Structures are given as C-alpha cells and as structure tokens.
Chain A
Amino acid sequence: MQVLNWFLRRKDESVRTKARDRMRLMLIHDRLELPADRLASLEEELIAVVGRYFEIDRETTRFDLQQYERRAALIANFPLLRSKV
C-alpha cells in the first residue's frame, strides 16, 4: 500500500509542480504589490455588480490572475444562467 501511495503521490502532486504554482502566484502578488485578500474582495464586489443584472453560475465561475511575460492579467469568467428582470 505504501508503495502504491508513493507512486500515486509522484504522479498527482509532484513537489516540482507545487513549487512552480506557488512561485507563480507569489510573484504575481509581489510584482503588483497586491495584498493576499485583495483579489477575493474584488471578486465579491464584481459578482455583486454583475449579479444585479444576471444570475451567475457560481459553480463554474473563474476568477484569477495569470502571468504574461513579466505582467499579470486578470481573468474573470462569470457564466450567466439568465438575466434578471
């Protein structure tokens, strides 16, 4: 069982991938001088605004920062279910 776990761990969440993902996120925040909780509060506000016009599918909402060269881009994807009257 331990051997199996060892193989699974290697495959699913390698330390290398984890380090890379943490590193990427950390540097995006560093470069923008962005506090850790700021993005979450922006998401909340945006969803509140969009939510006045549309019903949003919260299950598949995507909201994160991506790196392009040494810059970051905000990627927001709010799948809409129906418009509000």
Chain B
Amino acid sequence: MSGRVIVITSGKGGVGKTTASANIGVALAATGSSVALLDMDIGLRNLDILMGLENRVVYNLVDVIEERCKLRQALVKDKRLPNLCLLPAAQTRDKTAVNADQMKALCGELKELFDYVVVDSPAGIETGFQNAVAGAEEAVVITTPEMSAVRDADRIIGLLEARKDEIQQYRLVLNRIRPSMVKSNDMMSVEDVLEILSVKLLGVVPEDEQIIVSTNKGEPVAGTDNTRSGLAFRNIARRLKGEDVPLMDLDALNNTWLTKVVNFFAPVRA
C-alpha cells in the first residue's frame, strides 16, 4: 500500500490547524480509509487532547525516531474508529529533536501502513514547519479571513511553491467564516481571500461554538452528525478523496430567528 501524506499548515498560530487535522483525520477515517494522524508540534503537543486520547499516550514520535520503541507501539488507536491512529508529539523535547530526513523516512513507513497520513504542522516557518512538510506530497493551507492570518498564509504558500518538486498540490481551507459579518461588509468574503491569495479552495468552515464543546469533550465535530463545522470537515474529506462536493450555503447559516425556525424543521443543508 502507498498512502497519501497530507500536511496541514498555516504559518500563524491559533487559526485552527490542530482542529482541522483532527477533524480531517476523523472524517477520512469515517469514510472507511485507514488514517494516521501525526502531531509534529513537538514540545507543544495538543492533537491528543482534541482526539480525547491524552490518557493513552505511552510513546511518542521522538521515541520512534530515536528507536526507543517500534512504530506500532507508539500508535494510539482512536476510541471510536478502529482504522484511525494517532502518533503523538513529544511534549518535553523541541523542534530540533527531529530532522527532515528522519521525517521523510517516518512518513515513508506510515504510508505503507495507512491510506492517509495527516501531518499537523506547528505554527511558524522555521525548523518545525520545514520538518512537517518534509515527508508530504500534498498540503492543506488553513487560514481565517483576518488580515494577519491571510498574510501568514501567503508566506506559507510562497514556501510551498518553492518546494514544487515535493509538494505536488496545495489547497486552502478558510476557517471560522462568519456569514453575517461578511453580509454586513465587516469582513473579507471567501471570494476576496481566494482572489488575493490566488489559490485553489478545498473548503470553507463556518465559525461554530460547537468546536469548543467538542475540544472539551475530546470528540472532534466531524464524528457527530449535527454540527455545521462537522459537516464542513466531512465535505473537505470527501473533496480530498476526489469527490465533487458543492460548497455549503453560508447564507443559510445566518443565525436569524427565521433561519433558526427553518433549520429546526429542515435537515442540515450541505
């Protein structure tokens, strides 16, 4: 088997890389594919929390690379999906504990075992980022419609362009869109950001308080049926698999009393 290695990256911190990694991993696994989630944020481990797996971590990625354990020993199985595994980051080391060649070798090994290897990259453009993209052939750039996040995303796109030989394709996920603020012309729209960055769109995720709830529960939204962010991530996973899924109707998500009533009676719209 040779799977696909997809790195989730953003430049800026706090725009939703780890949330996106967890949810894309869950959504891909829910379609039946085998998935490994790889936390490359060495020293600032968080993906285990979002997955609700923090109590099951025994070994980590650095243990595997420094040969203190076998790869299979370090993989933590998901609670719900048997075909989903997490390879946690080390919490007490730093980004220099791994180099690009070791990362390439690790991704090569994981590719043989899984259909998808989803790599959660750390913030920034230095060593940590360089290592995270080292083993990948695809990238998902995640940003919010805020100016600082878009600027950092542009920098990341420039760096991915410079690695054209390895990164064959990259697409954008626009996170935390607030349809009502776009409508009142108080923030940039999806089209504005796409035009400014000149990049292909993979998906749009609306702002959703349920993300906070899901983090607190340790159950990514993509695993539940009734959240708009969860639906957005499931759509993203389907697009990654090559399906042609239309974008969510963001206007329908505007939280007016009328749409609330309508949504109460109608099923969630895709």
Q: Give the B-binding residues of A (Cβ under 8 A).
A: 10, 14-17, 19-20, 22-24, 26-27, 30-31, 67, 69-70
Contact = CB atoms under 8 A, between A and B. Distances in A.
Interface in B158-195: 158, 161, 182, 184-189, 192
Contact of A27 (B151, B185, B192): B151
B154 A20 contact: no
A8 to B, nearest CB: 13
Consensus secondary structure, chain A interface = helix
Interface residues on B, range: 10 to 19
A16 B182 contact: yes
Contacts of B151: 23, 26-27, 30
Given A22-B147, A23-B150, A23-B151, A16 B185 contact: yes
A11 B27 CA distance: 41
B185 A23 contact: no
B1 interface: no
B147 A16 contact: no
Interface of B: 147, 150-151, 154-155, 157-158, 161, 182, 184-189, 192, 196-198
B103 to A, nearest CB: 27
A16 B188 contact: yes
A10 B181 CA distance: 12
A30 B187 contact: no
A65 B189 CA distance: 23
10 contacts: A10-B184, A19-B187, A19-B188, A20-B196, A23-B151, A23-B188, A27-B151, A27-B196, A30-B151, A31-B158
A24 B189 CA distance: 14
Contacts of B147: 19, 22-23, 26
A16 B154 contact: no
A71 to B, nearest CB: 9
B173 to A, nearest CB: 18
